[in-house]
Structure 1
Amino acid sequence: MTNLPLELQQKHSVLITILNEMGSMLIGYSGGVDSTFLLKSAHDLLGDNVLAVTADSATLTGDELDEAGEVASAIGAAHLAVKTDEFESEDFIANPPERCYYCKKERFSALKDIQAARGFKWVAEGSNADDDNDWRPGTKAVRELGVRSPLKEAGLTKPDIRELSRALGLSTWDKPSAACLASRIPYGERITEDKLNQVAEGERYLKELGFRQLRVRHHGDLAKIEVPADDMQEVIRRADEITTRIKQLGFYFVALDLAGFKSGSMNKVLNK
């Protein structure tokens, strides 16, 4: 780590201090950039005093769950997948702007139960210092339940975490940002498993074509595809085959968002 910028080394040192002070923890683990870096850092320091737990639900694809398990195994960390069912909550299904709060409250409550049963000192999660710049109602649930966010506490941003992950040799260092499938459905539109499956299958198909950073937004009969500006020409070139496949999933119309990919783009309507 000595070849990294001094400021980043200092932030990393703060993180190490925080993790050592925590002593043992159960980590809410998605297999993404942030939670993987947190798991690696904590496991390197604390070994078997760390357990990664992934919520296995309809909002996470099977591919993502498998990848999370594979990465945790490569790190050498213990990994547990726990079934959760957000569809038992009408607050989640109704899809209000606070949807993430209700989801996180259920998930981290389940993790708190596991923590108590297994004797870990803390439950931790992978939010970073950049997450305060977007609408993150799940943060309220994290605070209410006393869940720790070590990366945020250390002041680490997403670029910081990618750089540190690369230095540690983690395969996730350049992994595209992800979000739960429910984030593809506009606020106020009820969430169903069929809608989540349509989104998951559409995104899986586009990834198979070679696109890495993308979203398929569910607007009823319309599927809206978001990719970075550099990928738009390729989507247009393959428009016929893409349109045919996406329509087979149950959509009647397929559109390309000319504004390009933007994580959290559904939150723009909250400014109204």
Structure 2
Amino acid sequence: MNSEFTAKISRDHIAGLASGAEHEKPILFLHGWLDNAASFLPLMQWLPKYYIVAIDWPGHGHSSHRGEDAHYHFLDYVYDLVLLFEQQGWGKVDIVGHSMGGMIAQAFAASFPENVASLTLIDAIGFITEEPENTSQQLRNGLLSRFKSRHKSKSVHPTIESAINARIAVSDLNVECASLIVNRGLKKLEKGYTWQADSKLRNTSPYRLTQAQATNLVNNIDCPVQLIYGDKGLDFVARAINIFKPYFKKLTIYQLSGGHHVHMELPKKTASLIDEFIKKPMN
């Protein structure tokens, strides 16, 4: 049985979905860019013995948007986790992160090892990096992206089905999986539906980690890590495995037959891997 999760951190309202016995230590589920907590619903039903909290990142799902002059660099999400852990009184928990959520989880695990017992990455490993000599151009591109998006309006869909089809067109999701994410991510208008997600999420990042910074973060992850990825997932992940694998202290890798949302396509198998991983003695 799933219920709504809510938390107040600083000026932001964090929403999400929860399942299981609340008195237990949670497993924290962190979704990817432009997804929401509902992307974990198929997985949650196969982990009934655990207390699971799947949050909507700020700007996504039912969580609040940042202020007009604030933005969404992924490192700011790390601070959101710091605030959430303090507000909830959580100690050391297991974290499952998909895509962007996996990148944020790695940065959090490296910086706050006292809060992470284990880390499961789903179609995510390492970080998106940029060469130092491209810093000025990256900054320019990012700030111009913000400037140009100031008055950009969101698309409006006449029906929920239209919105689902639009999401399917730009992803590897089937109708069933897309419906879960879209239904939590829509806002009803007088005539039609639009996306609840903050438009600023689509802006280009003004700065990215260098390769040296990224590998330093990975090298400072002390907890056991497992990567679960689909053979038809993001090309970036397949390349990043070769780049970042040597810097992990405790890494196990599983390739499944699926795409970027392999945890939605194969929830039973993914849940089994998570269950076995969490049960292992964490040395």
Higher relative contact order (CA closer than 8 Å, sequence separation 6+): 2
The structure with the greater share of residues assigned to strand is 2
Larger Rg: 1
